[in-house]
Amino acid sequence: MNLQERIMNTETRQFKMIFHNAVNDYDTLFGGTAMQWMDEVAYITATRFTRMNMVTVCCGKMEFLKPIKYGSFAEIIGKVTKAGKAKIEIEVEIFTEDMDSDNRSKAVEASFTFAAIDKDHNPVRIEMVESLIN
């Protein structure tokens, strides 16, 4: 399997329904909840890609493009955008979809950086990336 095939095979998707317990006074999803969902999908994507223990190193520019309203669906998609020997970058997007129509649009986007760690939580090289690149 080459690098592009591995990226395609490890794209991760989750769907969520926006219920009352996740919204603010304006009946839109709390930003912190969106961030948590995105970090979780990014973690799953990084782990599926490397099959190693991964930790979040940083979250890059997070942009809230439109509100995610109560009663809508959210699809969270994670995809590897850069793979190095020390870190993996994951792009995560949330799309919102009305429950009663086909209206779908991007609501949030961000990038996450992950690093591999050993059982003692020390950083380690991502060996499989080197083999896929070379």
3-state secondary structure of 35: helix
Instruction: Quote the percentage of the chain above a pLDDT of 90.
Output: 85
CA dist 94 and 60 (Å) reads: 15
Question: In this structure, are residues 129 and 52 in contact, taking their beta carbons and an 8 Å threshold?
Answer: no
Give the structural domain span for 103.
3-133
The structural domain count of the chain equals: 1
Instruction: Tell me: pLDDT of 131 over 90.
Output: no
- At 24, which CATH number? 3.10.129.10
pTM (2 d.p.):
0.93
Q: Model confidence at 77, in pLDDT bands (50, 70, 90)?
A: very high
CB contact at 8 A, 76 and 92: yes
**Bridge partners, residue 80, by sequence:** 90
